[in-house]
Structure 1
């Protein structure tokens, strides 16, 4: 599994600790330093079965400055959301867990982490 990780985020740290405890192997991607391309983010959204605004942190300063909370949430504007998140990766919810079975989860809750462990066979 791959984790889109922010080392200073408590939710990312919690996910790493939970996976370490269960001895689940993973690769870290410091997505703030290695931001995804628009194509990568689009692919991950498909794996999450989510829309861009579902995983966008609209309270972050870059989002507030551009008024993202008020942007339309429709097919026509989703590319605009994705481009903003690629340009400002801090807007992407974390941690995102890219599972080896092809799925993905946002690992912010105990339930999401339980599901990740289950799908990893732990």
Structure 2
């Protein structure tokens, strides 16, 4: 199991605490220090069955240039490049289980679902 976190994020801290409480073995990826590649983001998006604009934190100042960028297949690579260049834009925490199930684990229900699979 791998979890992408920002240690300053309360949702990330709650998620890792829940994993610890469940006794689950997992790997932490501090994605601000170790940003994902475009290929890794594409793989996560495929597993999430989402488009890149669905996981962008639009309230971040780095998202300002994206506000006018179309949300369409022609601009998909631009959205991904923005997240690779500014990983603060990536929604968190993202948890991938050993079977490849991936979710944005921002709430206890999602964490529980992933831990009971």
TM-score (norm 2): 0.96
Q: Which residue of 1 aligns with 2:25?
A: 25
Following TM superposition, the consecutive aligned residue runs of length 4 or more in structure 1 with deviations greater than 3 angstroms are: none
Pair 1:111 & 2:86 matched: no
Q: How far off its partner does 1:69 sit? A: 2.6
In structure 2, distance between residues paired with 1:112 and 1:77:
29
In structure 2, distance between residues paired with 1:51 and 1:102:
18
Q: Which residue of 1 aligns with 2:43?
A: 43
In structure 2, distance between residues paired with 1:77 and 1:13:
33
Q: How far off its partner does 1:106 sit? A: 0.2
- The correspondence of residues 1-122 of structure 1 with structure 2, limited to 5 A, is 1-64=1-64, 66=65, 68-119=66-117
| 3-state secondary structure, aligned to 1:90 | helix
In structure 2, distance between residues paired with 1:117 and 1:73:
32
TM-score (norm 1): 0.93
Provide, for residues 20-60 of structure 1, a one-character-per-residue CA deviation record: whole Å limited to 9, x for no partner: 11111110001001000101100110011111011100110
In structure 1, distance between residues paired with 2:97 and 2:91:
16
Q: How far off its partner does 1:70 sit? A: 2.9
Unaligned runs of 5+ residues in structure 1 are none
In structure 2, distance between residues paired with 1:20 and 1:56:
27
